[in-house]
Chains A and B, each alone.
Chain A
Amino acid sequence: MALMKILVAFIILWPLAGFLLNGLGRNYWSKKVIAYKATGYIVASFIASIFAFLYVQDHGAVTVHYFDFIHTASLTIPFDFKVDALSSLFLLVITGVGSLIHLYSKAYMQEESSPHYARYFAYLNLFIFSMLLLVLGDNYIIMFMGWEGVGLCSYLLIGYWFSNGSYNYAAKKAFIMNRIGDLGFLLAIFWLIAKLGTVSYNEVLTAESLAKLSNADITGITLLLFVGAMGKSAQIPLFTWLPDAMAGPTPVSALIHAATMVTAGIYMITRSNILFSHSEITQNIVAIIGISTALLAATIAIKQNDIKKVLAYSTVSQLGYMFLGLGVGAYSGAVFHVITHAFFKALLFLGAGSVIHALHHEQDIRKMGGLKSKLPITHITFLIGCIAIAGVPPFSGFFSKDEILAAAFEKNKIYWVLGLVGAAMTAFYMFRLYATTFLGKFRGSNEQEAHLHESPLAMTLPLIILAILSAVGGAIGIPEIMGGHHWLASQLSTIVSTPHEASLTVSTEWILMGVSVAIVATSLLIALSKYSKQTDEEPSSAIGKFFYHKWYIDELYQKAIIEPLNEFSLFLKEFIEKKVIDGAVNGTGKLVQFSARKVRLIQNGQAGYYILFMVVGIITLFLIWFNDIYILRFIHTLTQK
């Protein structure tokens, strides 16, 4: 236990230390030192995570308590961490992929001047730190801390090149959309506290506390949690920030906007799956949103020409798949896909990064092509990535995606069909990307061609490792029918309430696999044949334009939400504030002035009038006194105390 306490502190604090040291010493250390320090810390906590993982393997889940974050009469929120199968898995992924990407960044960010270089790594470390908080926290508050922390880091990293206005805008967009989600999350937490008075997992996620919650409560809470997930994991309607987030450096896209942060939503829902599986409505909503996001993003991805944009949309659509999995109750499947996706999507981004690096920040695939020979390693690894994501057996993507589809099939045939369509499109756009980038002949400018070169080892090494992982990563979840025993599912059986056991008959499952494989294969062949020679020009068909312009969703938001809000606040500022409220205040002052100007005219300086007024005054007094004018008496009785 004490060991665990130290170990967890170790895992958490290394990245934090990295952040602080690099942040404060940014002007003093050389790039080399900075890079090695940063990477070293993450590696260290990766090793620590391995130990933690092993410890959990034989001793089961542990909760370590440090201090009480909030301790009042009515509410106590401990600062606890929980290491169990789920979180330890995520630990491995985060720190593992994280360290690879740090390594990669060392070379990729070489051109930056050293303070900014340090800033970059500091942010990355901070990100890892927050991510660890998120997965390790033993209650929703600590998860929320990490949750907002990663949002902040993505904000900082997207706006890393801060002198560029549009990048800042993208960063702000990302943060604010996340904030909208966070609001949902926060409200869910309040709801829990209001009903249960606690937010610790091992108190919330239990039978008796479930008993305390009415169905309405559960649905409400889960929906709000899902809103949070939407923001973080870029689901409809809050997904538009993710493609823009590609403004950040490519490794960042790889780490944050593909491998780790965006999957936080899946983690959160899996963590609280007990709640979700008690609300049919929420599950359906999750599934529907998931699948529709998957399709929407896929359609857009088909028409994009920016290499990173394509990958971004593919990420969105893959996330959609995961939510579909969650929606149909295939939690372990979702997690499985998270892990495999982390591998191959990180791989793809890094590959893209290496391409961009080679082409001096050229991102338009129409200006690429024929890089196969120039960048061999990148090419191979990228290809593996594509295959993996397309879901060709025996690569990792196949297994995870298949598991989700199977679950979908058994839940509702329509999900399955749509899922297949999505899978087909995935294969199509991925291979469109691959073909236009690597096959054919080079379409870029000459001096670009002159300088084409394979990336340094620091960049290729992570590629290779990730390639291997995405190739064989499926091994952790080979379903029974293939003679595997689905190690992952058994791992998660402690956390996931209803581990998805294959209730389908063996035959059906084989059939499903066959179908999907067939469809995927055909569509990728079409893509290859279509794009290996030529690229596609500006879309002409209406539908093509529609996809190319991302369904005009950004424009829609601009018109429907942002501008009205701006107008509204301008109206408040200029009219309500200045004219109405302040006008009233100043009006009283003016009234006094005005009446002063009028009343003083009585004082007209003529003694005769004065005496006249006096006589009138006396008469008035008499009238008040003797006839006791009724209004005055009324006032009096009114205010008689």
Chain B
Amino acid sequence: MPIEYYIFLCLTLFSIGVIGVLTRRNAIIVFMCIELMLNAVNLLLVAFSKMNYGAALAMSPNTSAGIDAQLFVFFIMVVAAAEVSIGLAIIVMIYRNTHSIDINFLNRLKN
């Protein structure tokens, strides 16, 4: 399976995430779109890892090439989890004070 396919797929997902961030106003949805971006990256990383692994396999039968990427994905998930906890905490806090999570209403700070 050529790597380009994966790249295309992931970039598409990533961009959809970006578009979501740009077009939605609900903080939670925006945040979800960011998660989508992260996932796209994850998939791409795994794809790369397997690509490198395949390349390395040709040289030596028991290589561990590509493991780092998969671990990287693991760490990304870890971090994402932490981020989500904080992010949702903040969102909830805001919802407590202003009964809205519309990011466009949050423009008291400007200029």
Contacts and interface: CB of A to CB of B under 8 A. Distances in A.
Contacts of B21: 608, 611
A2 interface: no
B22 A604 contact: no
A603 B110 CA distance: 6
B22 A605 contact: no
Contact of B22 (A600, A601, A603, A612): A612
Contact of A601 (B103, B106, B109, B111): B111
Interface string A600-618: 1101111110011001000
A605 B108 CA distance: 7
A621 to B, nearest CB: 15
Nearest to A602: B111
B45 to A, nearest CB: 20
B111 A600 contact: yes
A607 B110 CA distance: 10
Contacts of B103: 606-608
Contact of A615 (B22, B25, B104, B106): B22
Interface in B51-103: 103
Contacts of A604: 107, 110-111
A605 B25 contact: no
B32 to A, nearest CB: 14
A608 B25 contact: yes
A12 to B, nearest CB: 79
B18 A605 contact: no
B106 A603 contact: no
A141 B18 CA distance: 87
A469 to B, nearest CB: 94
Nearest to B18: A615
B25 to A, nearest CB: 7
B108 A608 contact: no
Q: Is the interface of B mostly helix, strand, loop or mixed?
A: loop
A615 B110 CA distance: 20
Nearest to A600: B111
Interface in B15-37: 18, 21-22, 25
A605 B111 CA distance: 7
A600 B25 CA distance: 23
B102 to A, nearest CB: 10
Contacts of B109: 605
Interface in A174-221: none
A605 B110 CA distance: 4
B103 to A, nearest CB: 5
Nearest to A604: B110
A603 B107 CA distance: 10
Contact of B106 (A600, A607, A612): A607
B22 to A, nearest CB: 5
A618 to B, nearest CB: 10
A495 B6 CA distance: 113
A600 B104 CA distance: 18
B16 to A, nearest CB: 13
Given A603-B110, A612-B22, 17 more contacts: A601-B111, A603-B111, A604-B111, A605-B106, A605-B110, A605-B111, A606-B103, A606-B107, A606-B110, A607-B103, A607-B106, A608-B21, A608-B22, A608-B103, A611-B21, A611-B22, A615-B18
20 contacts: A603-B110, A603-B111, A604-B107, A604-B110, A604-B111, A605-B106, A605-B108, A605-B110, A606-B103, A606-B104, A606-B107, A606-B110, A607-B103, A607-B106, A608-B21, A608-B25, A608-B104, A611-B21, A612-B22, A615-B22
Interface of A: 600-601, 603-608, 611-612, 615
